[in-house]
Structures are given as C-alpha cells and as structure tokens.
Copies of this chain bind each other. A is one copy, B any other.
C-alpha cells in the first residue's frame, strides 16, 4: 500500500469505525442469539456446540453464560426479581456491544421473565436479536438435574429457583423453539446454524459442510 494511503488512514478521527467495516473484515454480521429456558434444559450445551461449529467454519462467536457473567460483571447481583432484571439488562447491553463489534453472541441464561428478554430485544436493531426457546419440560430438566440444583431447590435450600419457587415465562414468538427431547444436541445446534444462515448472519454452508 502506498505510504500516503496509510497516512490518510490514520488522520485525526472524531468518530467510530463503522460496524459494517468490522463485519466485512469478519465476513459475518453481528447478532445476539439469546438462549432461554429452564436450568438443565440444555441451553449451554447447545450454545457451546454452536460455538464450536462456528469456530470450525472460521466465524467469530462468543458465549456469554453464568460462568463468565455471574462470576464477573454481575458478581454483585443476586436472584431477586430486581436483581434478575438488572442481570439481564447488563447482559443485554454487553450483548449489544458485542453485536456492534460484529461478533455472533451466544447468550445462554435462564432469563425467566418475558419483559426482561423483550427489553433486550428493544435494545438491539431489528433482526439483531434471535430468541431461541430451549423448550424442555420441567420434569425432564428435574430428572437430568446435572448440577443437583433441583434437588436442593425442592429441599428449600435454594430460594427463588425458576420452575420450582420462581416463575418461568415462556417466549410467545421466539425466532426458534427447540424441543430437546426429540433431538440430538448436534441436530439442535444445526437448527441454530440454519437460522443464522437464513438470516444472513453467516454465509450459507457449502454442501460439504451440510451434515
């Protein structure tokens, strides 16, 4: 590149680089895939599987979940309705920044209240928020109980536990609803990948990539 072009590129700038420039670099579009469902429904497993599949396709994705949020950004919040609201609000704002960077954000949170999820949708541009309802019945989640949380909740050791002592408000019109009972994790992840491709967020897979 000619020297003067570079000089031109780093002259004094008052404003941000356009999101579209980052998206061109990444060959994808920023988007928030919001996985909601009961504890044990399979949200995070599906999100991780999608993350790995996107990495294999050389797409930039990032999972936000309880592990990296509740122990970090939101380590000063509990599980009251007010704290849950602030929890989801902050995650929504962070998701928005990631989407603006051009990243495919995979946000995996119980996020039981409809209003809180809808507020996140409102934060984002039209089409940038894809709500994925991981619809696994409570009985199945409780039977799986991978972290032993339901057992503790039934014993009264965990207050405000969604599905037991706190409500879960199912999405009314999610972009995708996954019935994990009828599907393998791989097939569930494929549904999310297909949604991303259909919405033009990632390139459609080549025939070799179609499982």
Contact = CB atoms under 8 A, between A and B. Distances in A.
A155 interface: no
Kindly report how many copies of this chain are found in the complex they form together.
2
Contact of A10 (B11, B17, B102, B211): B211
A56 interface: yes
Interface in A70-107: 72-73, 76, 86, 90, 93-94, 96-98, 100-103
Contacts of A103: 101
Q: Which of A16, A76, A123 is most buried by chain B, counting CB atoms within 10 A of its CB?
A: A16
A1 interface: yes
Interface stretch (A59-67, A136-144, A169-177): A59-67
A103 B90 CA distance: 20
Interface residues of A, number: 55
Interface string A33-74: 000000000000100110111011010111110001000110
Interface string A8-25: 011111111100011001
A16 B94 contact: no
A110 to B, nearest CB: 18
B209 A1 contact: yes
A208 B49 contact: no
A13 B64 CA distance: 15
Interface stretch (A126-134, A157-165, A182-190): A182-190
B62 A25 contact: no
Interface of A: 1-3, 6-7, 9-17, 21-22, 25-26, 45, 48-49, 51-53, 55-56, 58, 60-64, 68, 72-73, 76, 86, 90, 93-94, 96-98, 100-103, 123, 185-186, 189-190, 208-209, 211
